[in-house]
Amino acid sequence: MAFERVLADWLEDRTLVSELDLLVVDKPSGVVVHGGDEGLGADLVGRLRAWFRSRGEPEYLGVHHRLDLGASGVLLFTRSPRHNVEVARSFSEHTVERVYVAVVGGTALPDAGELVHRLAAEKGRPTRVVDRGGRLARARYRVLERRGSRALVELRPATGRTHQLRVQLAAVHAPIVGDTIYGGAAAPRLMLHSAVLGVLGRRFTAAVPPLFLASLGGRDGELGAPAEVARGLVEAAWRRAPVGRRTDAYRLVNGIGDGLPGIVVDRYCEHAVLALGSEEAIAREAELVAGVLALGASSVHVKRHLKADLRRLDPGALASPAPAAGSAPTGTVIVNENGLRLAVRLDSGLSTGLFVDQRDNRALVRRLAAGARVLNLFAYTCSFTIASATGGARETVSVDLSSAALRRGRENLALNGIAGPQHQLHRADAGAWLRRARARGERFDLVVLDPPSFGTVRGRAGFSITRDLEVVAADAIALLAPGGRLLAVTNHRKTTVEGLRRLLHRAARSAGRTVTQVKDCVSGYDCPPHPDGPSPSKSALVTVR
């Protein structure tokens, strides 16, 4: 079975102790201990129980403490009620030995000392330091190493409060690197690790991740040693396993958001596409291809994303039609995304015909489309159109300048049994088509606006997102019926979520329409944000009257 290794419920080499009554693991960063998206089932407790079930073992798992989503390290569970009372008492009476390691910023932190604060925690809000009230928080610390403006710190909390170490370090102007909630410097992850847990007369340890030393030296944007990169590929892909139960097209690795800068890996059925976006990644291509193949891919296709004018480059040098490793698929690959059948080509340039990072937005459009007249601008291969039609849209109109893309759109319509005059495909410049539609007084209930950052027309510069998006958005909003919605998407890296919202408000004013709501559409579980924000795409749903 393709990708069997990373579709497993648990990475067994992260098990520290497995006994009849106890389970101690080294929790990976980026996995919530309990809760989260219940429908997705991506929490650690749920995945461990599924692992027990697959082994024919009892599923009982007693949860006595947690680690934050971004933290890693020692986490203990009881496998039977035998130790529950003793473990619970140890945590409530603060007799458990807990040792954490963190990379922090700031140079004012003395070499050793004690952090003493009163903390107030409110559900849904960051914990804060207060002068009165709250709950007492105490922790001893010592600096293990300093490099430049950062320090590696050992912490021994005497109490257990929500976000305690994160808040206390921020309060003394030494926030944890990667802790964007409490003012830490941007990093691929929260640089906080549970290194030691002492309870029940025993001491459990988990080695500090190599990434911490790289972060200490300010090298967060670099790839690690080959063994670290190989491990990073496995763990990033494993975190996405719950998505793989719903679809066979999704993102396995999302660049620096997974601690692997310059590397993006997408799965299409049993095949993988490896996108290289940095000089370092391109230089290590052979190593990375081998690493992706080891995940269980039948083939690995490489796409090289260079910062250059692509019109001047040989397309074959960017994306060879042949796979770099493994057996090439024959022609079109048909993927299944939550019931949608979509055709992709892995051998036809930089794009495959499907942007997997838009899966959740396609699901959103599908939910909103019932009975609606839908306009899909810059439609490409019409995946948003397929989502609209299967969601019950009464009519769809798809506009794109590429006849080749629209041919593939028709293929997608046929794959899903969608046909008829109510689904129109127009080969046209989206901006020009909008102006004509506006002059005709057309109205749509839902418009999808997903333009490229930069487009060409017959080899010449065409659409530019920095120059043209606001004008196109205004024309699109002008076409909305009262109560209509616009889903705007951009993968332009210099456009922020806040910047997109401001642009859409300006566009609505220019169109003479009143915005009643702007809702940010967060990236899917398989596209974790980069340290500086969402990547690759930002999207917002605008409602007007």
Residues in CB range of 359: below 8 A, 6 or more apart: 247, 249, 250, 337, 338, 524, 526
Which whole-number Å values give the CA distances from 464 to 355, 470, 489, in the listed order?
20, 10, 14
Catalytic option among 68, 179, 266, 475: 68
Closest CA to 346 of 327, 326, 325, 332: 332
Instruction: Give Cβ neighbours of residue 197 (< 8 Å, ≥ 6 apart).
Output: 24, 74, 75, 76, 96, 97, 98, 99, 203, 204
For 93, the token pair is 């009476």
The answer to whether the bond into 536 is cis (omega within 30° of 0) is: yes
Q: Which of 201, 341, 319 is nearest to 268 (CA)?
A: 341
CA dist., res. 226 & res. 231, Å (int): 9
- Do 503 and 469 contact (CB within 8 A), yes or no? yes
What amino acid is encoded at 365 in this protein? V
DSSP class per residue in 218-285: T-TTS---HHHHHHHHHHHHHHTHHHHTTBSEEEEEEGGGGT-TTEEEEEETTEEEEEE-SHHHHHTH
- Output the six-digit token pair for 297: 């891919």
> According to DSSP H, which parts of 254-402 are helical?
279-283, 285-294, 315-318, 359-368, 383-390
Query: How many whole angstroms separate alpha carbon 156 and alpha carbon 139?
Result: 5
| Cα–Cα distance list, 448 to 26, 390, 410, 537 (Å) | 43, 16, 18, 14
Both tokens assigned to 174: 């030494």
Written as one letter, the residue type at 538 is K
CB distance 250 to 533 below 8 Å:
no
- In the residue annotation, 429 being an active-site residue is answered as no
Q: Which of 156, 167, 153, 162 is nearest to 198 (CA)?
A: 156
Active-site positions read 68
